[in-house]
Amino acid sequence: MRFCSTIFLLLCCTLTVCSQTVITTIVPREAVVQGESFQVQYVLEGSDKNAVFKTPLFPDFRIITGPNVYAGSIRSAQGTKPVQNAVITLEAIRPGRFPIPGIQVTLNGVAMRSEEAFVQVISVAEASSRQKKENRPGSELVSLYPGEDPAPVIQKNLFLRVEVNKQQVYPGEPVVATFKLYSRLESRSDIVRNPGFYGFAVVDMLNLADQEKGQEKLNGDLFDVHIIRRVQLFPEKPGEFTIDEMEVKNKIYFITDRKQKQPGSTIREGVFGKDDDPAAGKNSQVFETEMHSEPVRIVVKPFPAALPADYSGATGQFSMQTLTSKSELYKNEEGVFIIRITGTGNFTQLAAPVVNWPAGVEGFEPAIHDSLDKKRPVLAGYREFRYTFLAAPGKYALPAIRYNYFDPVRKSFFSLRSDSVKLVVNNEEKKAVAENNSRPAEFGNKSTSWVAAGIVVFCVIGSLIYWIFIRKEPEKELKAIPKPVIRPAEKFLPAAGDTDAVFYRDMQAGIYAYYQQFFMEDKIFGKSDLMDLLAGKIEDSPQLETLRHCLDTCELVLYTGVVPDKTQGEWLEMITGLLNQTGEKLQ
């Protein structure tokens, strides 16, 4: 009897949780274009607790980011409900109609799953064909009705917006700000004042010269959208800062003769000229307006933990490598000690690491070299600090370098540490290039022709001797150039036993560092770079798929906190063998 009561109570609790909690799958209603990204949202209503989301598999799509879980609330007739929203960004791979699987959510030990949805993916050619069939945005707004006030028409159909991807960040964490001009009118717009970004380091991602233009639907209306400027802003210190407004001056043309050419909307930076009115004339009405974007407040939070004593100002996800230009130098020959910081983050704010030179070595201030992809939402690439040094003859171990950075995703400080670098400085000086012996001018003038003739005769005779007597002899064995030493995977991968966040972070960095030794001329910034390089060298697709699965697992653990399907030891054993096997194929 007691057992039956327990079962009944658990059943009631389950029904109560399910009846109060609803999870919905939201996908784009319109067709998605092949090669473009889109968002899938899983909205959990009625739960203010930390639900556990299990990421589904998307065999027909490529995962770009996510799931990113956001907490909030909604108002309804029944009052305010807590909401959790899990957002996953996908990329459409090929045309067709594909299912979007529901997501599994565990709440109070009860598992629920949202319903499956479908997404229609069309080719780029099909999207272009559909776009041509649509009416040009604003075509119905090229003229005014008799007596109509143009002010509200302009205000509704021509405006400026600024969008930011986040408004609360840590120092060094990037904010992407995009300034857009929306238009459904025939117009000419000039930027008369660019915004100020006080308190931020600025990296331009896109500006007016890139001519980035598209279309967006707002409230059912199709707008021409000009991307005026897109920047990455890296806050320098905690506090509240403001992205100032951008000011734009506009000329709007309402056509009175429908046969007149309709030029569309354009934007530039500068001041209106006297002859810049191709749409103006006796058959058009011209109105001038000024507008500005709204200022945006950015809150820069203090770091959640005390700063390490040697904090460098780095915020992001990084790895580090140290090397020298040459492992063996002549006496009095300059060497270069290179510290390369690779990853994603605020590269422009990175401070040079401190190098404690050993006795006998004199180092100088470093030169900085950057290789960065500024088009990504977070700067990606590497920064090199190149220290020139001189050393007395002897054997040295250039010191291991320690470099601290803050990871805004995991909200913690982490420390990078490199190996020491061996260096040998010989007692022998580098041989200088032999100089021509000077001779008296008169001797040179008299003997030049004889010397030249003798050289020609000598070369001819030497060539004949080579072709007749020497050419048929077997070639002497050339001394093989030693290949660079390839270190095994075990030297790069972490030991099991640490927290999942630390273990999978180090395993991800170790995989990239292991393969970097095979591609010294190409820089590996992330998963896509690595897979592209390996695809051209390794034909075993199962091995590559296993490697991709491992890197996907690292990302899921780091950014979503999911529990891996294998233990750390199992992952370590599998990936060690995989790296060494693929490494043999690359040598």
137-189: pLDDT as tens digits: 444 455 677 777 888 888 888 899 999 999 999 999 999 999 999 988 888 88
Residue in this structure with the two tokens 């050619």, named with its chain if needed: 125
The structural domain count of the chain equals 4
Domain shared by 123 and 142, yes or no: no
Q: 353 with 382, same domain?
A: yes
Instruction: Please indicate, yes or no, if residue 422 is contained in any of the structural domains.
Output: yes
Query: ∠ at Cα 452 (448, 458), nearest 5°?
Result: 145
| C-alpha Rg value of the chain to the nearest Å | 33
Indicate whether 244 and 381 sit together in one domain.
Answer: no
Residue 79 pLDDT > 60: yes
- Tokens 């290039």 locate to 433
Higher pLDDT, 560 or 486: 486
CATH number of the domain that residue 279 is part of:
2.60.40
Same-domain pairing of 174 and 62: no
CA 310 vs. chain centroid, Å, equals: 27
pLDDT > 70? residue 298: yes
**Beta strand segments in 194-243, E:** 200-206, 213-218, 221-235, 239-243
Cβ–Cβ under 8 Å, residues 167 and 298: yes
List Cβ neighbours of 97 (8 Å cut-off, separation of 6 or more).
118, 119, 120, 121
Residue 476 has pLDDT above 70, yes or no: no
Q: Which residues pair with 96 in a beta bridge?
A: 121
Do residues 270 and 375 both lie within one domain? no
Residue of higher predicted confidence among 278 and 428:
428
Is 497 part of any domain?
yes
Give the residues across from 229 on adjacent strands. Answer: 179
Let me know whether 174 and 258 are in one domain: yes
pLDDT at 1: 46
For the chain, what percent of residues have pLDDT higher than 90?
23
For residue 360, being part of any structural domain is answered with yes
| Segment 349-361, tens digit of pLDDT | 888 999 999 999 9
Residue at 416 is within a domain? yes
558 or 299, higher pLDDT: 299
Lowest-confidence pick of 129-138, 212-221, 228-237, 518-527: 129-138
Write down which residue in 300, 330, 362 finishes a domain. Answer: 300
What domain range is 261 assigned to?
135-300
Q: Looking at residues 544-549, what average pLDDT do you find?
A: 84
Give 314's contacts (C-beta < 8 A, 6+ positions apart).
172, 341, 345, 346, 349, 350, 351, 403, 404, 405, 406
Say yes or no to pLDDT of 132 above 80: no
Domain assignment of residue 14, yes or no: no
Query: Across residues 18-29, what is the average pLDDT?
Result: 76
Rounded Cα distance between 298 and 175, Å, is: 9
316 plus 420 within the same structural domain: yes
The whole-number pLDDT of residue 545 equals 82
Angle at 224 between CA 222 and CA 229, to 5 degrees: 135
Task: Say if residues 381 and 523 touch (Cβ distance below 8 Å).
Answer: yes
Beta bridge partners of 362: 390
| C-alpha to C-alpha distance for 298 and 296, rounded to whole angstroms | 6
Using alpha carbons only, give the angle 297, 42, 529 rounded to the nearest 5 degrees.
75
| Mean per-residue pLDDT of the chain | 79
Question: With 50 as the cut, is the pLDDT of residue 399 above it?
Answer: yes
Please spell the DSSP secondary structure of 5-34, one letter per residue.
Answer: HHHHHHHHHHHHHHHH-EEEEE--SSPEET
Q: State residue 211's pLDDT score.
A: 76
In a domain, 518, yes or no: yes
CA 563 to centroid of chain Cα atoms: 26
Quote the tokens at residue 53. Answer: 């989301």
Would you place residue 515 in the very low, low, confident or very high pLDDT band (cuts 50, 70, 90)? confident
Residue where a domain stops, chosen among 79, 99, 132: 132
Last residue of a domain, one of 246, 278, 300: 300
Question: Using 50, 70 and 90 to split pLDDT, how confident is the model at 234?
Answer: very high
Q: Is the dihedral of CA 426, 428, 431, 432 positive or negative?
A: positive
pTM: 0.50
Q: Which two tokens stand for residue 54?
A: 């299990």
For residues 97 and 152, state if they share a domain: no
In this structure, the answer to whether residues 68 and 96 fall within a common structural domain is: yes
Rounded Cα–Cα distance for residues 518 and 533 (Å)? 10
Based on the fold, state whether residues 316 and 370 are members of the same structural domain.
yes
Would 434 be classed as within a structural domain?
Answer: no
- On whether both 353 and 264 belong to a single domain, the answer is no
Are 390 and 417 in the same domain? yes
CATH number at residue 83: 2.60.40.10
